[in-house]
Every structure is written in C-alpha cells, then in structure tokens.
Amino acid sequence: MVKFGIEFVPKDVYWRTVYYAIQAEKGGFDNLWITDHFINRSVYVTLTLILNYTERIKVGTGVTNPFLVSPVVTASNIASLNEVAPGRVVCGIGAGDLTTLEQAGVQVTKPLTAMREAVQIINALLKGEGLQNFEGTVFKVKSAKLAFKVRNPIPIYIGAQGAKMLKLAGEMGDGVLINASNPTDIKEAVELVKEGASAAGRSRDKIDVAAYTAFSIHEKEEKAFKAAIPVVAFIVAGAPDPVLEKHHINLEATKKIKGSLVKGDFQTAFSSVTREMADAFSLYGTPAQCIEKISQILKAGVTQFVVGSPIGGDVRKAIDLVVKEVIPHFR
C-alpha cells in the first residue's frame, strides 16, 4: 500500500504548524517533512514540538543541506531528535535550494561529491562508528564521534532531481525524495534510482521512493493554480537549464523570475509564472484532477506520495480535502 507524506514550511507561528501536523496524523498520513531554510523557523525546533504532540507519524527534515549546516552537526541534530521519539525520525538531505543559498552568500561546491561525503559522514556518526581523519574532496573531519548512543537505525533520504543525484540516491539512500511533480519526470527519475541501486548491488525494494511534489488542491482549479504560483516560481528559479528546456520553458523568463526572487521582488517573480511552468513543476487541481495525476505517478513505482507545499490556499481545508477525498481513493 502506498504511503502518503506531507510537507510543511515553518513560515507560520509554531503552533499553527503543530496543529497541521496533528491534523495530518489524524487524517492518516504516514510521513511528515519540514523544510529547512534559514529564512523560516528552525526545522529542529519545529520537529521537536511536532513529535511531542503526535504519536505515530514519522518525521524528517525535508530537506536539510550540507552547505549551510555541516554534516557532523546534522548528525548530532538528527540523533538528538530521535531521542524525543525513537524510531519515528528520518534524515532528509539534499544539495540545497540554489536561490536561497545564493541569498545567504553560500557557495555550492561540487554538489554530487558533497552529498556523497555528507551521507557517509552522517551514516558513520549515526551508527556510532565515528570518524578519524576523513579526507573528502569537500569535507574533511579530523575526529568526530557522538557522545551518546543512537539506539535504532535512522534512515537517510536523499533529495534529488538531476540524473547523477538520483543514481546516488539509489546507490546510498534508504529513501529518495524525488523533487518532481510531473508524471513523466517521476517515471524517468525512478528508472535512474533503479540504475543506481543496481550498480551498487542493492535491491530497489529496500529504497522508499517518494514523489516529493509541489501540490495544491481546491474545489476550483483556478484557485489551486493560484496557490501553487509562489512555490513554482522558486522551483523554476532553481531548475537546471536542461530540465527547463525539456519542458519547453522559456529560459529568459526563468532568468527574470530568479533575478526577481534574489532581489526580493516577489510580485514580479510570481506574476511571471505561467500555466506551462505550473503544469511542469507542480500538481494542482480539484480532488478528481489530483487523484488522476497521482494515479499516473504511482504507476511509475513510487512508494510514497508527498503532498508538498503549498498544499492549498487554505492549508487546513486543503488537508481535509486530501484526507476525505484523495487518500481513501488509494486505500
């Protein structure tokens, strides 16, 4: 049976995000992901509060990155979080949002290598092995070992979009968070994950393949589209040119969106988002339309469908729509 995950951006006051988390757990969601951006509230504070107010749902960073936060610190944070609710915590890590990192003045160096090394470092620390004289290309660790024991395995999910990163996820990840919403993109991504797993001699069945979508639902399609626009703007701004060209997205238009976002001119950025962009990089519509699109995605071999930000214009009502009309269709 397919699992359903949900993503929240901790931009609202903490109690509102916790409320949504409780609502999601009661509604039958299996996983909950909280984004990690320096402009929002702390992902670990938010997740700690959520764990204290929920009983079953698994939670994780969706996703943190190794450029703003050292992998050794991430390992400590995740392990500490796991003590709050053992067995309910996972680590989601990706190369990071290029637009946000650029705003922070952070340079992204060799993202594929950085991710490989970050996963190696985090895994070693979470397993209690520690590190001595780790000499990576991007990261170097002289000596590191957690001062407390992690009493259960903590899965690592790799956020991925490009071909090489998707293969890396298949090679090293316990799960993969496919950063895509279009059924064709997801089908191609799943095949790349399989390639990575096969090359590493791993069973694809041991990898939780999650479609981490930009999702927006409403009884009226137009309102679902409008709610998706801000998220689509950031996705378009961070997407590599080959991905944009594949979906016939005008590169000059995307440069305008990215430039506006970096300057903080959100009105210009959002007004430049087209239907073609939303169709390529989000899953939006009425409950019936969303069910049809999700059905196409699940055929690709996805084992977890993530209802990602923005969820809808009114988050509470949007969660109710998913709980009452979408999830039951697949169960």
Rounded average pLDDT over 37-44? 95
**Whole-number pLDDT of residue 316:** 98
Q: Which residues pair with 214 in a beta bridge?
A: 308
Rounded average pLDDT over 249-258? 94
**Whole-number pLDDT of residue 262:** 85
Q: How confident is the model at residue 103 (pLDDT cuts 50, 70, 90)?
A: confident
Residue 192 is inside which H or E element, if any?
A: helix 183-199
The model's pLDDT over 186-206, given as tens digits with 9 standing for 90+, comes to 999 999 999 999 999 999 899
The answer to which of 93-102, 151-160, 240-249, 317-326 has the lowest mean pLDDT is 93-102
Q: How confident is the model at residue 241 (pLDDT cuts 50, 70, 90)?
A: confident
**Whole-number pLDDT of residue 101:** 83
**β-pairing verdict for 175-178 and 58-61:** unpaired
Spatial separation of the C-alpha atoms in residues 86 and 204, rounded to whole Å: 26
**Whole-number pLDDT of residue 107:** 85
Spatial separation of the C-alpha atoms in residues 187 and 14, rounded to whole Å: 36
Spatial separation of the C-alpha atoms in residues 310 and 198, rounded to whole Å: 34
**Whole-number pLDDT of residue 78:** 98
The model's pLDDT over 44-101, given as tens digits with 9 standing for 90+, comes to 999 999 999 999 999 999 999 999 999 999 999 999 999 999 999 999 999 987 777 8
Q: Mean pLDDT over all residues of the chain? A: 96
**pTM to 2 decimal places:** 0.94
**Whole-number pLDDT of residue 243:** 83
**Whole-number pLDDT of residue 106:** 87
**Percent of the chain beyond pLDDT 70?**
100
Spatial separation of the C-alpha atoms in residues 107 and 80, rounded to whole Å: 28
**For residue 24, which of 324, 330, 329, 331 has the smallest C-alpha distance?**
324
**Whole-number pLDDT of residue 260:** 95
Instruction: Delineate the domains of the chain, giving CATH numbers in brackets.
Output: 3-221+284-330 (3.20.20.30)
What the block records as the tokens of 220 is: 């009226």
Rounded average pLDDT over 228-254? 91
Residue 320: pLDDT above 80?
A: yes
Contact between residue 186 and residue 297 where contact means Cβ atoms under 8 Å apart: yes
**For residue 62, which of 158, 126, 127, 164 has the smallest C-alpha distance?**
158
Q: How confident is the model at residue 1 (pLDDT cuts 50, 70, 90)?
A: confident
The model's pLDDT over 12-27, given as tens digits with 9 standing for 90+, comes to 999 999 999 999 999 9
Residue 285: pLDDT above 80?
A: yes
Rounded average pLDDT over 28-32? 98
**Whole-number pLDDT of residue 134:** 97
Higher pLDDT, 27 or 106: 27
**β-pairing verdict for 175-178 and 208-217:** parallel
Q: Which residues contact 246 (CB under 8 A, 6 or more apart)?
A: none
Higher pLDDT, 162 or 297: 297
Contact between residue 98 and residue 145 where contact means Cβ atoms under 8 Å apart: no
DSSP 253-309: HHHHHHHHHHHT-HHHHHHT--HHHHHHH-EEE-HHHHHHHHHHHHTTT-SEEEEEE
How many Cα atoms within 13 Å fall on the side-chain side of residue 118? Answer: 30
**For residue 33, which of 217, 238, 307 has the smallest C-alpha distance?**
307
